[in-house]
């Protein structure tokens, strides 16, 4: 039966690519994915698969009942895009200025819709039930996962699985990990309030740029000197803005960055140490400050048995050259919230275009579309294997 499913994935590959490219041409930002949600709803309507619109916001959830007894399994794909200008010169380039699918969510959606179509076609032979979760707003915290869960989407679900088409991993490789897989992703903003003045008379100012520069250096000592060397954490500055003229010392400087952790106690320690360093540094220069720390998504923690199930499921797919356990990634994902509610696992499907690697969230982002076949086959294999637990 599994090989029949796999053959159907091959048969529908061209259609899957067509869907992905249509979605790539028509991206929508988080919490604004109205046309994308309609596209998904129309797909299920044509298949006569019952679905619920507006779940947790713009989410769409479809449910398929197999004729054979078995588990109820949820599969999730996200469908929001990013505020990035698509710089690729390809026929399927984004037609929405300043908006782009730069994280493969278009591919996730096309993959899950194809899986739904195939499993529906063979529903008389399908064990158990499938809940297809099409989630909005993964890119922007607080994200779409929590409101979707709050709407009861996991009621009666036994296990939950999801994948991310991953350009950091070569095509043909599937990766996951038992336990910690992706990190908690927090954001912070530090506003330094100094006293500006003439660049030639710095002694008459409280220079927020100098203070900010000192902070950038001091904050790095938290990970290098305050944490156990065996602890896993990242503190990165991504934005430093101050001033508008080369010869004027500004009043204000704003620093933004991210903290990534797997452990809540470690997260709290870093927050406390940041507060002390920011307060001490600013006060030593007689500057005021505002420290805004926003906790983002929690860590993605796979259930051990289901991470192994994903490895074994991927090994059934001919196109998979290697299915491997890898070290955790410091990237974040709100799939974490599904795994806090139900057993399951999240995994990376290698999608790197050979000799053309471009990272996620980049204006030139694209992926090897053949990876969608591997993702679809691995998810179907996981559904069948999970019914044997």
Q: Quick one: pLDDT at residue 1?
A: 87
pLDDT for 337 equals 98
What's the CATH number where 291 sits? Answer: 3.30.70.360
293 and 303, same domain (yes or no): no
Residues 175 and 206 in one domain: no
Per-residue confidence (pLDDT) for residue 306, from 0 to 100: 98
- Tell me the pLDDT tens digit for each residue of 142-168: 999 999 999 999 999 999 999 999 999
Torsion angle of C-alpha atoms 79, 101, 84, 262, degrees rounded to 10: 60
* pLDDT tens, position by position, 326-360: 999 999 999 999 999 999 999 999 999 998 999 99
Distance CA 29, CA 80 (A): 6
40 and 98 inside one domain? yes
Same domain, 197 and 50: no
Buried b / exposed e over 217-248, threshold 16 CB at 10 Å, is eebeebbeeebeeeebbebebeebebbeeeee
- CA proximity to 270, closest of 306, 236, 301: 236
SS3 call for 204: helix
Residue 80 is among the residues annotated as catalytic for this protein: yes
Any binding-site annotation on 120?
Answer: no
361 marked among binding-site residues: yes
User: Quick check: 327 and 155 in contact, CB under 8 A?
Assistant: no
Counting Cα atoms < 13 Å in the Cβ hemisphere of 26 gives: 13
Spans of the chain below 70 pLDDT: none
Last residue of a domain, one of 247, 277, 297: 297
Active site residue 78: no
d(C-alpha 123, C-alpha 129), whole Å: 9
- Per the structure, the complete domain to which residue 194 belongs is given by 185-297
Q: Of the listed 138, 333, 334, 369, which one is catalytic?
A: 138
Strand 344-352 and strand 159-170: the pairing is parallel
Residue 103, annotated ligand binder? yes
Residue 164, annotated as binding a ligand: yes
Residues 199 and 345 grouped into a single domain: no
Residue 241 labeled ligand binder = no
Residue 142 CA to residue 147 CA, distance in Å, equals 9
Residues 138 and 270 both lie in one domain: no
Q: List the beta bridge partners of residue 51.
A: 62
User: Which residue is catalytic, options 28, 33, 80, 334?
Assistant: 80
Q: pLDDT per residue over 22-43, tens digit each?
A: 999 999 999 999 999 999 999 9
């Amino acid at each position: 039966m599994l090989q029949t499913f796999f053959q159907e994935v091959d048969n529908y590959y061209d259609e899957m690519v067509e869907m992905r490219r249509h979605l790539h041409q028509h991206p929508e930002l988080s919490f604004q994915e109205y046309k994308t949600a309609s596209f998904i709803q129309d797909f299920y309507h044509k298949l006569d698969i019952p679905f619920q619109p507006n779940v947790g916001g713009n989410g769409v959830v479809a449910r398929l009942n197999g004729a054979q007894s078995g588990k109820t399994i949820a599969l999730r794909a996200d469908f929001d895009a990013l505020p990035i200008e698509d710089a690729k010169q390809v026929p399927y380039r984004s037609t929405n200025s300043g908006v782009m699918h730069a994280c493969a969510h278009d591919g996730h959606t096309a993959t899950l819709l194809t899986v739904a179509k195939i499993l529906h076609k063979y529903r008389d032979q399908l064990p158990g039930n499938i809940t297809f979760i099409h989630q909005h707003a993964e890119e922007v915290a607080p994200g779409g996962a929590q409101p979707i869960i709050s709407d009861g989407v996991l009621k009666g679900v036994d296990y939950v699985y999801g994948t991310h088409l991953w350009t950091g991993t070569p095509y043909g490789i599937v990766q996951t990990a038992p336990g910690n897989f992706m990190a908690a992703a927090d954001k912070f903003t530090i506003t330094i309030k100094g006293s500006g003045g003439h660049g030639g008379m710095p002694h008459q100012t409280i220079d927020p740029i100098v203070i900010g520069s000192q902070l950038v250096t001091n904050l790095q000592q938290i990970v290098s000197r305050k944490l156990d060397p065996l602890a896993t954490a990242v503190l990165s500055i991504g934005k430093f803005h101050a001033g508008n003229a080369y010869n004027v010392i500004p009043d204000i400087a704003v620093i933004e960055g991210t903290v990534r952790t797997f452990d809540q106690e470690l997260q709290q320690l870093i927050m406390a140490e940041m507060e002390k360093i920011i307060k001490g540094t600013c006060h030593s220069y007689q500057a005021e400050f505002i420290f805004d720390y926003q906790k983002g998504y929690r860590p993605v923690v796979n259930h051990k048995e289901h991470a192994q199930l994903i490895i074994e499921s991927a090994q059934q797919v001919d196109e998979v050259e290697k299915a491997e356990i890898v070290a955790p990634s410091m990237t974040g994902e709100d799939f974490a919230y599904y795994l806090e509610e139900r057993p399951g696992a999240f995994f990376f499907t290698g999608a790197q275009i050979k000799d053309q690697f471009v990272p996620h969230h980049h204006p030139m982002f694209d992926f090897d579309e053949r990876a969608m076949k591997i993702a679809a086959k691995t998810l179907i294999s996981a559904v069948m294997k999970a019914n044997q637990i």
